[in-house]
Chains A and B, each alone.
Chain A
């Protein structure tokens, strides 16, 4: 890996950061995360900026005094930073001065005002209080306008999310999502662990993205400790990543048909997925591919049968054809919940949500950890509706099967070194991986003995959830579940 020297680190001051930040935005950088650190001397914020055209990484480091914890809000320069600032405020109690929308984001309404869970001095469990006022209904007035609250407990087995619709008749005027019901203090669990022991937590950030998060974490640690990874191990990682993409895409291809009442297609998708999961178990010993990624290496028990993978992808393509041969399904998918390209760019949507709206981004090509060659084709659709997101995932499944075939050929029977390295030096590192949902970002800092002092995780859902309300404007209420499924963002990966 040549990643060590790639990150440029600039220390900025409170007065200087707006200019530096905006000049980087103008240069084509996008904000990937704001990581806050509680040091002995005070707080330290790291703004991680990434440019996809040449894979350049810049970190703006802003020291913040402990006595007067505040930062200048950059919210007027970029939407993403406004949400990261609110997150830092909620978790660390650092006030973004002059923030245009200083509402709580992570902190549940029942959490006390002065309780900030990431602070070292904070007691682990506060006394909860009655409070619904912190998430007020945005009142929409007019003839026949009414509000529908849904969740966080749903009629089906879904992760907790509270949704508020302002509707007239059946048409959605405005939609607000209240997430963050599953705060587990996950980033804190990493602290003090050796990276090898923290991998299992990374695999559980979002249960369906075991490889994506484990890999981003491992890459961040490897960059921090300057650990080299062999070409074979990188190929094994690419293989695992595509297997994960396939099984998740297949599940959602079925689930979207199910949400328009076409259960027959879901039954078939589940059948195909089950074969995929059994193949995963043969490959890694775990149906959801846990245990394949190691710090400094990777290992599989067996390489997948590429013919079987190709057959699965073929079946998925046939299934999609059958699903779309139903006129009602085409009608339900087509033109539903359009996310336009401009909004996708502005909100910095990631992964298939962005690509379905015509945004040509893919970390496998833009921020590669290995060259996938011609096998990688970045699929892009332009319409931005449910149909585009559906088709995109069908086509990506086929591309993934081709990448798997190519990677298995290049591995030539090699199943990974299986070596796990214990880092033993201080450092900071970044890991960027195109998980099946989109770009996953991890940043770690290691102490001199190699233990983790801070891990910051950003799941693509953090960005993509904000695109959902935009896509839902003028959609009808009964189409919400379908739209939500076509986005399929993680609740657990978003809250941490």
Chain B
């Protein structure tokens, strides 16, 4: 019977679409308040999206279909992530595995779509942003893969729902060295993947330092709205993944009204807590010199590798 997983996936997607702009709003508001500014309020990203959605996109002459399709591909890939990752509950599709390799693959589709959009207009900034973005992505994807792989070794499955289930059943495993190492490296990778500090400054207006912003510089109107929403959804999906692994409580284990309601509420809570934590840490960080970013990511990869080695050692012992 596939109705239950499909329903869960639908709920996850709806919840994420509803939560994500608020989440970005919370992060910006936390930053504003910590810097002693009033801030635009948590609803501003919603209002921005609504405004952009109503606007006709202006496209540079000589642009290809990528500019129109890329943003949609990004949003769709992010929505698939939201459906695959156990966010509200841990019931997987029997046919379509919520396998970690699938998740990383879908993530990469979004990355490539965004990079192509950056390249499409042929402006120097888009190309520069895309080149930096791909450099970072090439260093990040293996880390995501290896760190979750470390978590999958003890239970012998790379399905995220089973990993999360096991963590709910035995919370003690979360404090194990394997889990801690893997989580730290995953967190660094997520920060880099979603263009946050100290890898990229989401609030910069300096076109020569941008990574993410440089790629969307040539987009406007609806195109820009889709790109923003897609990127934000990626951020919240990745935060959701970290949340599911670090704070898995409240997940719906069956598709029934009450567990689902609890699941959605705890998802919101988890995301809000993580977003506030991320925004708070960001305030005290400065942006790394671009050539230092690989060092940071290499460090996180080493942590992930250590996690894998440790996991094999603990399994055999």
Residue positions of A touching B, CB distance < 8 A? 147-150, 154-157, 170, 257, 259-264, 267-268, 271, 326, 328-329, 331-332, 476-481
Contacts and interface: CB of A to CB of B under 8 A. Distances in A.
Interface stretch (B6-14, B77-85, B91-99, B201-209): B201-209
B34 A264 contact: yes
B155 interface: no
A109 B217 CA distance: 27
A328 B286 contact: yes
A332 B289 CA distance: 6
B291 A264 contact: no
A155 B206 CA distance: 7
B197 A261 contact: yes
B201 A261 contact: yes
B275 to A, nearest CB: 18
A259 B203 CA distance: 11
A478 B35 contact: no
B286 A329 contact: yes
Nearest to A149: B124
Nearest to B289: A332
Given A155-B205, A156-B206, A476 B128 contact: no
Interface string B240-252: 0000000000000
Max count, chain B CB within 10 A of own CB: residue among A154, A157, A262: A262
Given A260-B287, A476-B291, A267 B208 contact: no
Q: Which of B283, B289, B291 has the most A CB atoms < 10 Å from its CB?
A: B289
B209 A481 contact: yes
Contact of B198 (A148, A156, A261): A261
Interface in B182-227: 197-198, 201, 203-210, 213, 217
Contact of A331 (B36, B37, B201, B289): B289
Nearest to A477: B208
A264 B290 contact: no
B125 to A, nearest CB: 8
B65 interface: no
Nearest to B214: A155
Contacts of A480: 208
Contacts of B37: 267
Interface string B23-45: 00000000100111100000000
Nearest to A259: B206
A155 B289 contact: no
B317 interface: no
Which residue, of A154, A478, A480, has the highest number of chain B Cβ atoms within 10 A? A478
A261 B204 contact: yes
Interface in B286-307: 286-292
Given A267-B35, A267-B37, A328-B198, A478 B289 contact: yes
Contact of B35 (A261, A263, A329): A263
Interface residues on B, range: 20 to 34
A310 B209 CA distance: 36
A266 B284 CA distance: 12
Given A149-B124, A264-B34, A155 B217 contact: yes
A332 B208 contact: no
B1 interface: no
A156 B290 contact: no
A476 B291 CA distance: 9
A169 to B, nearest CB: 9
Contact of B286 (A149, A262, A478, A479): A262
Contact of A150 (B35, B124, B198, B291): B124
Contacts of A271: 36
Contact of A260 (B207, B283, B286): B286
B126 to A, nearest CB: 11
A331 B289 CA distance: 8
A170 B290 contact: yes
A262 B125 CA distance: 23
Nearest to B202: A261
B256 interface: no
A93 B217 CA distance: 41
Interface string B119-161: 0000011001000000000000000000000000000000000
A332 B37 CA distance: 26
* Shortest 6 CB-CB contacts between residues of A and residues of B: A156-B205, A261-B287, A267-B35, A481-B206, A328-B286, A261-B201
A237 B56 CA distance: 55
A326 B288 CA distance: 11
Contact of A328 (B31, B203, B209, B285): B285
B287 A328 contact: yes
B50 to A, nearest CB: 23
A157 B291 CA distance: 27
A154 to B, nearest CB: 7
A264 B35 contact: yes
Given A150-B207, A170-B290, 19 more contacts: A148-B125, A149-B124, A150-B124, A155-B207, A155-B217, A259-B206, A261-B198, A261-B204, A261-B285, A264-B284, A267-B36, A267-B37, A326-B286, A328-B287, A328-B288, A329-B286, A331-B288, A332-B289, A479-B289
Nearest to A163: B208
Contacts of A478: 208-209, 289-290
B223 to A, nearest CB: 17
A328 B284 CA distance: 10
A146 to B, nearest CB: 8
Contact of A264 (B201, B209, B210, B283): B283
Contacts of B213: 155
A147 B122 CA distance: 12
Most buried by B among A261, A262, A332, A477: A261
B284 A154 contact: no
B289 A476 contact: yes
Contacts of B201: 261
A348 B247 CA distance: 61
Contacts of B209: 259, 478, 481
Contacts of A260: 286-287
Contacts of B292: 331
Contacts of A259: 206, 209
Contacts of B285: 261-262, 326, 328
A294 to B, nearest CB: 39
25 contacts: A148-B124, A148-B125, A149-B124, A150-B208, A155-B217, A156-B205, A156-B206, A170-B290, A170-B291, A257-B286, A259-B209, A261-B285, A262-B285, A263-B203, A263-B283, A267-B36, A268-B36, A328-B287, A329-B286, A331-B288, A331-B292, A332-B286, A332-B289, A478-B209, A481-B209
A150 B124 CA distance: 8
A402 to B, nearest CB: 29
A20 to B, nearest CB: 45
B215 to A, nearest CB: 13
